[in-house]
Amino acid sequence: MSIHQLDPPSRLLCGPGPSDVEPAVLAAMRRPMLGHLDPAFHAILDEVVALLRAVWRMPDGDVLALPSTGTSAMEAGLANLLEPGDTAIVAEAGFFGRRLGDIAERHGATVVRVTAPWGETVPNAALLDALDRHPEARLVAVVHAETSTGALHPLRELGTALFGYDVLLLADCVTSLGGIPLEAGPWGVDYAYSCTQKCLAAPPGMAPVAISPRAWRRIRTRRTPVPFALDLELLRRYWVDRPAVYHHTTPILSVYALHEALRLVLDEGLEARWSRHAAAGAHLQAALRARGLELLADPSRQMAPLTAVRVPDGVDGKAVQARLLEEHGIEVGGGLGPAAPPMWRIGLMGRNATTATATHVLTALDDVLAPAAAAA
Ligand SMILES: Cc1ncc(COP(=O)(O)O)c(C=O)c1O
């Protein structure tokens, strides 16, 4: 029997992620396979840790990468930092803020949800207020860059405001790492997690995390064990301790991809990369507004890598997405979850964070929307 080889269509991935993979990252995945217990591979892990430290801006504590996507890194943070009965204050202003609270509840925490409408961010003052009402809280959790709305939480200010409180700060940095100014260590983030498929321009499958010394102190005084696969201390013994202690068979080629992606980030320069994302996002957002389209995020909170556009009345948003994909080979996202208003989510992440790509997407959108605009 002859079964044909895979031949997926070629796309421009301008949705909420994954984004297009850098060719050099794909090339790295073709390098010779090693075993996960080979000392040569452990030397590569050491390099990835050094690169991650620089990209997270996490001089203390530990950095490593889970063999998973962002969701498992989210769960790992909550599972390690919370114990059944602990109180967690969770900022919820979109799909992923809600998921944070849901996962914390599954791990037995009492969750205080502080909410804001989609497109806004939960005011830091409201989180501090919740902390005053719940001094027993052990964790404050926020989504830095809420991919379901395009809104950016003022994380640095939150870290500053929490200084002096005996509470850990957990931040979802899935869409911010490598694309938006972020300094996990100096900002006082105790556990930050991300993924490879957004601004790092690698395939999905690895989840970089950063863990502060204070988070380790909390983890080491736990009374209850954490799920084995998500146990950060066991992961640390493999990623950081030498000789490495086996925990799981690391996806070797994905580690090569992460290494190359991080190398490219630092080669470009973190600040330069943040600026590139900012310029591309600003270009897209100005052009969309100039076309009379409304953006979901509060303008003062709008992030660069992801722009959520409200679908105008009378336009079939899903049909527009389908035509962009079929006729132009461009993927953009729609609303996420039942609470989402009708929207398109346009991502300019990683290698796609250029004004040229923004213009390309706008031209395609103009083409698809032309009949609707003419009828209006
Ligand atoms: C802000 C945010 N958090 C968490 C996740 C979950 O990551 P993953 O889909 O890689 O599991 C995503 C995915 O888009 C996200 O955008």
What is the pLDDT, as a whole number, of residue 269? 98
Distance 129 CA to ligand 1 centre (A): 28
Give the pLDDT of residue 1. Answer: 79
Nearest to 19, CA basis, from 274, 290, 261, 303: 261
The residue whose CA is least distant from atom 8 of ligand 1 is 70
pLDDT at 374: 62
Query: pLDDT value at position 373?
Result: 64
The closest-lying atom of ligand 1 relative to the alpha carbon of residue 71 is: 11
CB neighbours (10 Å) of residue 243? Answer: 8
- Report which protein residue has its CA nearest ligand 1's atom 16: 147
| Ligand 1 atom, smallest distance to 74 CA | 4
What are the pocket residues of ligand 1 if the criterion is a CB atom closer than 6 Å to any ligand atom? 16-17, 69-71, 74, 96, 143, 147, 172, 174-175, 195, 204
Task: Note the pLDDT tens digit of each residue in 185-242.
Answer: 999 999 999 999 999 999 999 999 999 999 999 999 999 999 999 999 999 999 999 9
Round to whole Å and give the CA distance between 196 and 194.
7
Strand ranges for 75-109 from DSSP E: 87-92
- Which stretches in the chain have pLDDT values below 70? 372-376
Task: Please enumerate, as own/partner, the contacts of 163-169 that have beta carbons within 8 Å and a separation of 24 or more.
Answer: 163/188, 165/131, 167/89, 167/131, 167/137, 167/138, 167/139, 167/140, 168/81, 168/138, 168/139, 168/140, 168/214, 168/215, 168/218, 169/139, 169/140, 169/141, 169/142
Mean of per-residue pLDDT scores for the chain: 97
Helix/strand/coil (H/E/C) assignment for every residue in 107-134: CCCEEEEEECCCCCCCCHHHHHHHHHHC
Sorted by sequence, the CB contacts under 8 Å of residue 267 that are 6+ apart come out as: none
Cα distances (Å, whole numbers) of residue 310 to 150, 241, 287, 317, 328: 12, 49, 14, 9, 21
Distance 295 CA to ligand 1 centre (A): 21
Strands 151-152 and 139-143: unpaired
